């Protein structure tokens, strides 16, 4: 680890000033990804400005029926919050299926949105990687790409966005609030995550020193009937190969409202607008679910190694819609049962 | 064979808590990277970025300019080794390098991650930082790392596995056997490379005092470290002491002595300070060996009644440029079923990899998967129950040598395992059971693991003090298996004392020599030596008492004397050890025990047996496999501690689950680098993956393998699990996936 200095900020304004006036300073919140990347020489700040003392930890329901989440609220606290669980089950589920209990106790919500990709070529600090060192090329395109993205990719980067909860937030049209050297800003969350294009090192529109202060989820009645499905090899403690965050409202056998976003398959948390458009007004039937899924994945550009994700994502979409239209969708992830002598 | 006083086991077999449990959970147990020494320096290893070519230059100017940097060692200035010892499995009790190659002796790069520099500084962080400042330039050539790249250049080696096993094993005429068969099944099985990933990465702390070297090493054998480092450095054995009290798991990656202990000693000599060298998690993927990627091809021929007529079992795998290494996957398939014709052939190709190494159930973990999946296909083809098919081909002799098993218990394993699991009445038709989105299936497999052949005498020492406490000593480390606990029990029974009064001291080359505890041989060989020492000391004390005119036992026949809780009794006369020693003004008594292992050519087949059963749920739409429950029935000879044995077997079964469904490292063919060298990307089973695991112990007597009849539990738990799971996946879905791990894309 290279020599590094440390400053513990006591208020938001001084934290923002400290970082925005020094190109070699970065914020430090939970540190659950950042410290790993420092050790691995992927990130190179000379100074860390610790923001953990800032008063940004509240989680509160809004009178209109939404929720405001402070940027420093821990994942575990948000997942356990009664308002979140009642109004937005998919947020609580996405959080609880992410990381491990220990990491969730430490990791902040703002940090979660900014977590870096899991691409092993990005993280090894040696392979060519346009995200880490612009212009050096993408090792994943021709390399080991089983976990990589099939949507929103470019020839310069195919790394998957790793967050679970961001997928739920994108489905819900959340807003990201920030304070920076030029004052306060609010971003629609779908605009907050950038596609790699020809500048994969730019993952979000924040300027240096701009700090996420909170996340606001607007009132979304349909979200009370929602589900987050995460498909992965290991039963716990693994990033998604495919995930689906969805909320569904059915009136008289017809889909009245639907929200859907995908994780594990795209370079950003992927709002499934095409599927939503197809489903609104459609009847509840499996063929339509499958068609909606197919429409959403039509532009997928897989590598030979991750081609299965195109099919898997469609099946996961259908599964979640099945679950939600059965009326069973707000429970936890269905398990395989304990088994018994045959 | 010498006769020894008989023991009445009372401590042996008990589920005694680990004697080192408290120090481990309170942190007072010092592992090899936790030894505090004054003036410590820290060495950081730099691995090659490329997999093939040469290092054309290393600019160390920025690194050496950093504060606290003491040395940068590369091929240009690292001392030459004195001698490269041959690769011999450490069980032999000789020098045991992990490969016949030592780094930084020239500029050639043979594999990615190969050590090309060592940076030594006054803190770990400074060493690591300076290492990143090295400017290394390479001349790169195209690497060969994958099966597809090497297939065309494969050869059949004369011998593999450190020279212990022939490259071709045959009996009868396999072509004729297949021709005569009514039914044939054939399949190609592929296996991802696996890495051990013990919780404690390997580490060594080296301290020179003049020309005497002290190493703290995390190893499966302190003597193996001592002998290997001695040969490489040219320092006499008498001037090297190795201490390794604890190791945080190994699973084979600390069975051979890889380069880092010697590098730590070289660095310490160079900077004139003690040096700690700890591998990082990432470096563990390129520094201590692995289970090689491989492909196996199995053909079975059988009669309509299900009797095997032929087994053909071939394997292809990459090895290093230096050694003919393959894990011996074909051994047990030649031994465990009655079958007249057998052909096993290893094929290797030279690749840009370090020499692969032992990994839990080396050979059997993959070889028994292929064989037992093929047996399941055969059972399905014939319409015979899988357990019944195995019973029809059961053999009471080693099918390769024709010698009887020293002990078996395999039939009981099938019967009791099947009963506990609820196997009988199983509907053999695949894809017939559904619970919601989940298809349910069951599968089974035979488990076998050889009782390792030992070469050299094993020794231990027992000492009784006049206060009635005893210390029993042997050089073996405890790398997490519980050996210190079970040897306390063995010592207590041998001495006729309670376990509270016995202490087992271990993990130091100044103690009597024990070969590296590998190949599930630790419990058998160490217990033999400890038992020998303890009973020799008891015999010495009993003989002293009956010859002592002042003893109540004077004149008794030693064979009539029983000892319990430190009190010798013959009929109505008795005397405590403590009284005997005090009356004779004797501070202590001591005996050395030695066990000579059975000769290699004794007319017995020596094998541990078991049977594995698994139930899986498969979400066929999403490709998910979750194991719902597992039962393993094992016959490991005598069980020294029911609790630690059960834990080890259960751990082995969960390893099998990981091998079946999760564990894989993938080689990037273009760069020759492992693609997922972290615990986030290399998946091992976590608690949420672990189902109910039911372990059944079937004790069989065996007076051939060693004095206490211990056959070992380190590896047998893993063998056959992956096959039972793969067979259950077929039963659930009707699909045969002939690769490990079985992942989502295989089932979509």
Question: Quick one: which H or E segment has residue A291?
Answer: helix A286-296
CA distance B495 to B504: 13
* Measured CA distances, B711 to B34, B281, B463, B465 (Å): 34, 33, 27, 32
Residues written for chain B? 748
Do the beta carbons of residue B336 and residue B446 sit within 8 Å?
Answer: yes
Q: Which residues pair with B109 in a beta bridge?
A: B53
- To the nearest whole Å, the CA of B430 is away from the closest chain A CA by 14
Residue position matching structure tokens 């990143």: B132
Share of chain A above pLDDT 90, in %: 93
Taking only the tens place, the pLDDT of each residue in B18-71 is: 999 999 999 999 999 999 999 999 999 999 999 999 999 999 999 999 999 999
Q: Which residues pair with B278 in a beta bridge?
A: B203
Per CATH, is A5-53 categorized as 3.40.50.970?
no
Q: Which residues pair with B692 in a beta bridge?
A: B629
CA distance B159 to B601: 19
Q: What topology is assigned to B397-454+600-748 in CATH?
A: Aldehyde Oxidoreductase; domain 4 (3.30.365)
pLDDT at A330 over 50: no
> Which chain B residue has the Cα nearest residue A230?
B622
Q: Which residues of chain A does CATH 3.30.43.10 include?
A: 5-53
- To the nearest whole Å, the CA of A337 is away from the closest chain B CA by 7
CA distance B239 to B337: 50
Phi, psi for A175 (deg, rounded to 5): -120, 145
pLDDT at A332 over 60: no
Architecture of domain B21-28+456-595: 2-Layer Sandwich (3.30)
Tell me what pLDDT residue B453 has.
86
Tell me what pLDDT residue B368 has.
98
Tell me what pLDDT residue A335 has.
67
* Side-chain-side CA neighbours of residue B474 (13 Å): 36
Task: Indicate yes or no: CB of A339 within 8 angstroms of CB of B438.
Answer: no
CA distance B204 to B218: 7
**Which residues in chain B are closer than 8 Å to A336, comparing Cβ atoms?**
435, 438, 617, 619, 624, 626, 628
Task: Indicate yes or no: CB of B681 within 8 angstroms of CB of A120.
Answer: yes
**Any B CB within 8 A of A47 CB:** no
CB atoms within 10 A of CB A21: 11
Strands (E), B428-536: 434-435, 438-450, 458-465, 470-474, 502-506
CA distance A228 to A329: 9
Alpha helices in B383-521 (DSSP H): 386-392, 410-421, 483-495
Q: ∠ CA(B395), CA(B400), CA(B406), 5° rounding? A: 60
In chain B, residues 639-678 whose CB comes closer than 8 Å to chain A = 661-662, 666, 668, 670-671, 673, 675-678
- To the nearest whole Å, the CA of A40 is away from the closest chain B CA by 10
pLDDT at A339 over 60: no
Number of helices and strands in chain A (H, E): 13, 12
Segments making up each domain of chain B, as ranges: 21-28+456-595, 41-142+201-287, 397-454+600-748
Tell me what pLDDT residue B4 has.
42
Of A91, A120, A115, the closest CA to residue A103 belongs to A115
Do the beta carbons of residue A294 and residue A283 sit within 8 Å?
Answer: no
Nearest by CB to residue B426, choosing from A41, A120, A342, is: A342
Tell me what pLDDT residue A1 has.
59
DSSP state of B669: T
**Tokens of residue A172, six digits:** 């819900």
- To the nearest whole Å, the CA of A247 is away from the closest chain B CA by 20
Tell me what pLDDT residue B298 has.
98
Do the beta carbons of residue B222 and residue B320 sit within 8 Å?
Answer: no
Q: Taking residues A309-313, report their average pLDDT.
A: 98
> Which chain B residue has the Cα nearest residue A229?
B622
Task: Indicate yes or no: CB of B687 within 8 angstroms of CB of A236.
Answer: yes
CATH number (3.40.50.360, 3.30.365.10, 1.10.10.60, 3.40.50.2000) of B41-142+201-287 reads 3.30.365.10
> Which chain A residue has the Cα nearest residue B124?
A1
CA distance A269 to A266: 7
Taking only the tens place, the pLDDT of each residue in A160-180 is: 999 999 999 999 999 999 999
* Measured CA distances, A68 to A57, A169, A176, B43, B304 (Å): 10, 12, 10, 49, 71
Q: Taking residues A299-310, report their average pLDDT.
A: 98
**Which residue out of B680, B690, B729, B740 would a mutagenesis test of the A interface target, given it has the greatest number of A Cβ atoms within 10 Å?**
B680
DSSP state of B239: G
Taking only the tens place, the pLDDT of each residue in A76-128 is: 999 999 999 999 999 999 999 999 999 999 999 999 999 999 999 999 989 99
CA distance B151 to B318: 9
* Side-chain-side CA neighbours of residue B329 (13 Å): 35
Do the beta carbons of residue B518 and residue B90 sit within 8 Å?
Answer: yes
Q: How confident is the model at residue A340 (pLDDT cuts 50, 70, 90)?
A: low
Nearest by CB to residue B676, choosing from A41, A120, A126, is: A120
Task: Indicate yes or no: CB of A231 within 8 angstroms of CB of B440.
Answer: no
Task: Find all residues with CB under 8 Å of B280, minimum gap 6, and list them.
Answer: B201
Q: Which residues pair with B189 in a beta bridge?
A: B296
Residues written for chain A? 342
Question: Quick one: which H or E segment has residue B573?
Answer: strand B573-576
Nearest by CB to residue B686, choosing from A3, A234, A315, is: A234
Do the beta carbons of residue A335 and residue B438 sit within 8 Å?
Answer: no
CA distance B525 to B254: 18
**Which residues in chain A are closer than 8 Å to B748, comparing Cβ atoms?**
308, 311-312, 315
**What CATH number should be reported for the domain whose range is A227-325?**
3.30.390.50
Q: Which residues of chain A does CATH 3.30.390.50 include?
A: 227-325
Do the beta carbons of residue A171 and residue A260 sit within 8 Å?
Answer: yes
**Which residue out of B124, B629, B737, B744 would a mutagenesis test of the A interface target, given it has the greatest number of A Cβ atoms within 10 Å?**
B744
Taking only the tens place, the pLDDT of each residue in A181-223 is: 999 999 999 999 999 999 999 999 999 999 999 999 999 999 9
Averaged pLDDT of chain A: 95
CA distance B636 to B645: 9
Of B195, B228, B245, the closest CA to residue B35 belongs to B245
Q: Give the DSSP letter string of B198-236.
A: -SS--EEEEEEETTEEEEEE--S-HHHHHHHHHHHHT--
Tell me what pLDDT residue A341 has.
45
Averaged pLDDT of chain B: 96
Which parts of chain B sit beneath pLDDT 70? Answer: 1-9
- The whole-angstrom distance between residue B495's C-alpha and the CA centroid of its chain comes to 30
């Amino acid at each position: 680890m290279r020599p590094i200095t440390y400053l513990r900020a006591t208020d938001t304004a001084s934290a923002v000033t400290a970082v925005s006036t020094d190109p070699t300073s970065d914020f430090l919140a939970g540190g659950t990804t950042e410290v790993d990347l420092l050790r691995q020489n992927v990130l190179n700040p000379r100074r860390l400005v610790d923001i953990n003392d800032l008063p940004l930890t509240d989680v509160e329901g809004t009178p209109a029926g939404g929720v405001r989440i402070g940027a420093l609220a821990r994942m575990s606290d948000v997942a356990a919050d009664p308002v979140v669980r009642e109004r937005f089950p998919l947020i609580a589920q996405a959080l609880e299926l992410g990381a491990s209990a220990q990491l969730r106790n430490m990791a902040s919500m703002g940090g979660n949105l900014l977590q870096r990709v899991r691409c092993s070529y990005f993280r090894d600090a040696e392979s060519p990687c346009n995200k880490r060192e612009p212009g050096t090329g993408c090792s994943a395109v021709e390399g080991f790409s089983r976990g990589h993205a099939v949507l929103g990719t470019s020839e310069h980067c195919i790394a998957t966005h790793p967050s679970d909860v961001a997928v739920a937030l994108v489905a819900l049209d959340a807003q990201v609030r920030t304070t920076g050297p030029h004052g306060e800003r609010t971003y629609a969350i779908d605009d907050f995550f950038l596609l790699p294009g020809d500048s994969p090192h730019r993952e979000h529109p924040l300027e240096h020193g701009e700090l996420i202060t909170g996340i606001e989820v607007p009132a979304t009645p349909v979200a009370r009937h929602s589900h987050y499905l995460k498909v992965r090899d290991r039963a716990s403690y693994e990033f998604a190969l495919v995930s689906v965050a969805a909320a569904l409202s059915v009136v008289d056998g017809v889909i009245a409202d639907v929200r859907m976003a995908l994780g594990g398959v795209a370079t950003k948390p992927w709002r499934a607008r095409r599927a939503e458009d197809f489903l609104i007004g459609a009847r509840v039937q499996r063929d339509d679910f499958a068609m909606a899924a197919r429409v959403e994945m039509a532009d997928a550009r897989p590598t030979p190694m991750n081609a299965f994700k195109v099919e898997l994502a469609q099946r996961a979409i259908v599964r979640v819609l099945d679950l939600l239209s059965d009326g069973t969708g707000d429970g936890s992830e269905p398990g395989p049962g304990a088994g018994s002598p045959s | 064979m010498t006769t020894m006083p008989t023991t009445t086991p009372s401590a042996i077999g008990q589920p005694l808590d680990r004697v080192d449990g408290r120090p481990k959970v309170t942190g007072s147990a010092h592992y090899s990277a936790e030894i505090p020494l004054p003036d410590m320096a820290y060495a950081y290893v730099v691995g090659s970025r490329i997999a093939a070519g040469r290092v054309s230059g290393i600019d160390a100017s920025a690194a050496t300019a950093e504060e606290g940097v003491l040395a940068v060692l590369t091929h240009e200035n690292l001392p030459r080794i004195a001698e490269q010892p041959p690769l011999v499995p450490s069980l032999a009790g000789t020098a045991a390098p992990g490969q016949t190659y030592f780094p930084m002796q020239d500029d050639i790069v043979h594999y990615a991650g190969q050590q090309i520099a060592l940076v030594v500084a006054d803190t770990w962080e400074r060493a690591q930082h300076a290492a990143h400042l090295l400017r290394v330039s390479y001349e790169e050539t195209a690497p060969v790392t994958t099966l597809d790249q090497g297939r065309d250049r494969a050869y059949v080696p004369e011998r593999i596995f450190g020279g212990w096993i022939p490259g071709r094993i045959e009996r009868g005429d396999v072509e004729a056997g297949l021709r005569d068969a009514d039914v044939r099944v054939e399949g190609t099985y592929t296996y991802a490379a696996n890495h051990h990933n013990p919780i404690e990465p390997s580490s060594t702390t080296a301290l020179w005092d003049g020309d005497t070297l002290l190493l703290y090493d995390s190893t499966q054998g302190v003597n193996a470290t001592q002998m290997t480092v001695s040969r490489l450095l040219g320092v006499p054995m008498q001037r090297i002491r190795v201490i390794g009290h604890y190791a945080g798991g190994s699973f084979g990656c600390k069975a051979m002595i890889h380069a880092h202990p010697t590098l730590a000693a070289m660095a310490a000599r160079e900077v004139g300070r003690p040096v700690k060298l700890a591998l990082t998690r990432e470096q563990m993927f390129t520094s201590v060996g692995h289970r090689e990627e491989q492909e196996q091809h199995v053909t079975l021929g059988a009669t309509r009644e299900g009797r095997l007529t032929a087994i053909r079992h071939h394997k292809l795998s990459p090895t290093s440029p230096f050694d003919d290494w393959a894990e011996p996957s074909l051994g047990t398939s030649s031994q465990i079923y009655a079958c007249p014709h057998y052909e096993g052939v290893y094929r290797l190709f030279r690749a840009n990899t370090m020499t692969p190494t032992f990994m839990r159930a080396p050979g059997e973990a993959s070889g028994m998967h292929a064989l037992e999946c093929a047996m399941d296909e055969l059972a399905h083809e014939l319409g015979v129950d899988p357990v019944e098919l195995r019973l029809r081909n059961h053999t009471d002799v080693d099918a390769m040598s024709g010698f009887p098993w020293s002990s078996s218990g395999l039939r009981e394993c099938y019967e009791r395992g099947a009963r506990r699991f609820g196997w009988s009445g199983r509907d053999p038709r695949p894809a017939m059971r559904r619970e919601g989105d989940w298809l349910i299936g069951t599968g089974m497999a035979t488990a076998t693991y050889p009782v390792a052949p030992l070469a050299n005498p094993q020794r231990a020492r027992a000492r009784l003090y006049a206060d009635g406490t005893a210390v029993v000593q042997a050089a073996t480390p405890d790398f997490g298996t519980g050996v210190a606990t079970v040897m306390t029990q063995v010592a207590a029974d041998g001495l006729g004392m309670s376990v509270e009064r016995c202490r087992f001291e271990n993990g130091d080359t100044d103690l009597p020599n024990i070969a590296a505890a590998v190949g599930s041989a630790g419990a058998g060989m160490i217990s033999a030596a400890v038992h020998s020492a303890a009973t020799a000391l008891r015999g010495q004390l009993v003989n002293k008492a009956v010859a002592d005119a002042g003893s109540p036992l004077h004149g008794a026949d030693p064979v009539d004397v029983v000892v319990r809780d430190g009190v010798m009794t013959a009929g109505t006369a008795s005397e405590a050890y403590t009284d005997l020693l005090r009356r004779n003004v004797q501070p202590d008594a001591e005996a050395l025990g030695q066990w000579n292992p059975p000769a290699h050519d004794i007319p017995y087949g020596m094998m541990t047996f078991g049977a594995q059963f698994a139930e899986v749920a498969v979400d066929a739409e999403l490709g998910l496999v979750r194991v719902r429950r597992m039962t393993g029935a094992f016959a490991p000879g005598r069980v020294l501690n029911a609790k630690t044995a059960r834990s080890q077997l259960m751990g082995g079964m969960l390893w099998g689950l990981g091998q079946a469904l999760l564990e894989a490292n993938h080689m990037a063919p273009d760069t020759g680098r492992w693609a997922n060298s972290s615990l986030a990307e290399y998946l091992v089973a976590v608690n949420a993956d672990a189902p109910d695991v039911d372990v059944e112990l079937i004790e069989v007597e065996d007076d051939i393998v060693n004095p206490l009849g211990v056959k070992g539990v380190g590896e047998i738990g893993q063998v056959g699990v992956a096959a039972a799971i793969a067979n259950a996946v077929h039963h659930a879905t009707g699909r045969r996936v002939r690769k490990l791990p079985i992942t989502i894309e295989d089932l979509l």
